[in-house]
Amino acid sequence: MRQQAKFIALLIFILMFTACGQNQNIRIGFVGTLSGPNSIVGISMRDGILLKVDEVNAAGGINGQQIELLIQDDLNDADKIKSINETFIQDGIDIIFGHELSSKAKPLFEVIKDRELTVMSPTLSTYELSGIDDNFFRTIPSNYDQGTELGNLANLESKKTLFIYTNANKKFADGVNEGYADSFSGSTEEYPVKTNIVDEAEAIVDIYKSGNFDSVMYVMNPDDVMYMSQMFFKHQIDTEIYSSNWGMAVNMLDKGGRAIEGATFVSFMGNLDGPRYLSFRDAYYEKYQKEPEFAAVYAYEAASFLFEALKESDSLGYLDIKSSLLNLGEQEGLVSPLKLDEFGDIKRKLFLAVVEDGKLVILE
């Protein structure tokens, strides 16, 4: 009897321990720039995924497990990016979300290459990562595709474009510029902003005036886009304005004022009048008391895609999650349908958005 009692007690302990292990939180590491001049995308991305985490946890979690988001500010520093990701991996975190800028691809892959973990980004779009069978997944089309879309439009309006980009994010700019140049029948010249736009704006104006340009193409953060547009306006320069998705910020259009009227941004924001987006927008506004920026929308969509795959996965192991992600099929998204291809790259429609009366309007 005593031996039987010991056996039963041991069995109960094992069952309790197993149950506890099964009910542990699903820990996801978040990495983004949350401070400094390039933080608007990282902050919006963080806010978007946090909203989705709150919704999923309030509904009971994923297969009974709550999501725990571990947030880290990488300070837009390569060494910090590497150390954060390495620490996550050493701590047993096998799912990492974030890394919003293409300039982060190199330090990120120095850590995650050939590691068995899942990395999901809603905004890291460098085309150099396209068509590779790896552990990186994203829900944004490549930067090359963004440039192509804008180049096709510029053919109708422009002959010569000054390409102004942030040198610190050159990887992203190179892809946009290549796509633009390949689809644009006119000519382009590049100007890399090496210090900051405030110090270099007058020099850019002089280059524009002397170069017979009729358009500018921005690959910069929203603050810099608005500032440079104001400088052109101040000097009474009437130019066509094109911008990558990075420069688009709903909450910052007032900084551009009349200077940004008529500017065209490439966007993945399609149906903003649909019930899915409006429901998200209302929930986001209630939580943060502000309109959602594009990165918040993409982060919410990417998180939704990831969490749906986790529900379908046989385990939280890398290969099971990868299989679930690649076989999930087309999802509705907030603004347009999205689906991953066999390499973990997204297939979704691109849109163009123009500023009219201080608001972004999607072009049909």
Render pLDDT for 33-70 as a digit per residue (tens, 0 to 9). Answer: 999 877 989 999 999 999 999 999 999 999 999 999 99
Is the full-model pTM beyond 0.85? no
Greater model confidence, 13 or 265: 265
Q: Which two tokens stand for residue 88?
A: 């996550």
Please state which of the four CATH numbers 3.80.10.10, 3.30.70.270, 3.30.450.20, 3.40.50.2300 is assigned to the domain occupying 144-267. 3.40.50.2300
CA distances from 75 to 37, 64, 96, 100, 138 (A): 10, 34, 17, 12, 22
Quote the pLDDT of residue 4: 55
pLDDT beyond 90 at 129: no
**Res. 140 pLDDT band, cuts 50 70 90:** confident
Quote the pLDDT of residue 23: 53
Quote the pLDDT of residue 107: 95
pLDDT beyond 80 at 2: no
Quote the pLDDT of residue 20: 42
Amino acid at 147: G
C-alpha 364/C-alpha 358 separation (Å) is: 19
Neighbours of 63 (CB within 10 A): 13
**What value does the mean pLDDT take over residues 248-272?**
86
Q: Which two tokens stand for residue 266?
A: 């490439």
Output phi, psi for 321, to 5 deg: -65, -45
**What value does the mean pLDDT take over residues 189-203?**
96
Quote the pLDDT of residue 110: 95
Quote the pLDDT of residue 243: 96
Mean per-residue pLDDT of the chain: 90
**Res. 22 pLDDT band, cuts 50 70 90:** very low
Output phi, psi for 267, to 5 deg: -145, 160
pLDDT beyond 90 at 125: no
Q: What is the number of residues in the chain?
A: 364
Q: How many Å separate Cα 196 from the centre of its chain?
A: 23
pLDDT beyond 70 at 291: yes
pLDDT-wise least confident of 239-248, 258-267, 329-338: 329-338
- Say if residues 248 and 267 touch (Cβ distance below 8 Å): yes
**What value does the mean pLDDT take over residues 301-325?**
95
- Say if residues 163 and 177 touch (Cβ distance below 8 Å): yes
Share of the chain above pLDDT 70, in %: 93
Quote the pLDDT of residue 210: 96
Q: Where do the domains of the chain lie?
A: 14-141+273-349, 144-267
Amino acid at 173: A
pLDDT beyond 80 at 10: no
Quote the pLDDT of residue 3: 56
**Domain at 14-141+273-349, CATH class:** alpha beta
**What value does the mean pLDDT take over residues 311-333?**
93
Quote the pLDDT of residue 86: 97
**Res. 7 pLDDT band, cuts 50 70 90:** very low
The C-alpha R_g of the chain, in whole angstroms, comes to: 23
**Res. 16 pLDDT band, cuts 50 70 90:** very low
Same-fold call for 14-141+273-349 versus 144-267? yes
Greater model confidence, 278 or 20: 278
Share of the chain above pLDDT 90, in %: 75
pLDDT beyond 50 at 11: no
pLDDT-wise least confident of 183-187, 223-227, 332-336: 332-336
**Res. 346 pLDDT band, cuts 50 70 90:** confident
Output phi, psi for 188, to 5 deg: -135, 150
SS (H, E, C) the chain: CHHHHHHHHHHHHHHHHHHHHHCCCEEEEEEECCCCCCHHHHHHHHHHHHHHHHHHHHCCCECCECEEEEEEECCCCHHHHHHHHHHHHHCCCCEEEECCCHHHHHHHHHHHCCCCCEEEECCCCCHHHCCCCCCEEECCCCHHHHHHHHHHHHCCCCCEEEEEEEHHHHHHHHHHHHHHHHHCCCEEEEEEECCCHHHHHHHHHHHHHHCCCCEEEEECCHHHHHHHHHHHHHCCCCCEEEECHHHCCHHHHHHHHHHHCCCEEEECCCCCCCHHHHHHHHHHHHHHCCCCCHHHHHHHHHHHHHHHHHHHCCCCCHHHHHHHHHCCCCECCCCCCEEECCCCCEECCCEEEEEECCEEEEEC
C-alpha 299/C-alpha 282 separation (Å) is: 16
